[in-house]
Amino acid sequence: MSATLGTIPAGSNPDAIIYDPASKRVFVMNGRSGDITAINAADGKVAGTIAVGGKLEFAAADGKSTIYVNVEDKSELVHIDAEKLTVLHKWPLAPCTEPSGLAMDTKTRRLFVGCDNKIMAIINADTGKIVTTVPTGEGTDANGFDPGTGYAFSSNGEGTLSVVHEDSPEKFTVVENVPTKKSARTMALDLKTHNIFLPAADFDAPQAGERRGKMKPDSFVVLMLTR
75-83, Cβ contacts within 8 angstroms, sequence gap of 24 or more: 75/99, 77/111, 77/113, 77/123, 77/128, 78/52, 79/128, 80/27, 80/36, 80/50, 80/52, 82/20, 82/22, 82/23, 82/25, 82/27, 82/38, 83/23
Q: What is the pLDDT along the chain (227 residues), one digit of tens a residue?
A: 788 888 999 999 999 999 999 999 999 999 999 999 999 999 999 999 999 999 999 999 999 999 999 999 999 999 999 999 999 999 999 999 999 999 999 999 999 999 999 999 999 999 999 999 999 999 999 999 999 999 999 999 999 999 999 999 999 999 999 999 999 999 999 999 999 999 999 999 888 888 788 899 999 999 999 98
The pTM score is 0.94
Residues 181, 146: contact at Cβ < 8 Å?
Answer: no
Residues 108, 125: contact at Cβ < 8 Å?
Answer: no
143 vs 137: CA distance, rounded Å: 12
CA 180 to each of CA 25, 120, 140: distance values in angstroms, whole numbers, following the listed order: 34, 18, 13
Domains annotated for the chain, with CATH where assigned, are 14-182 (2.130.10.10)
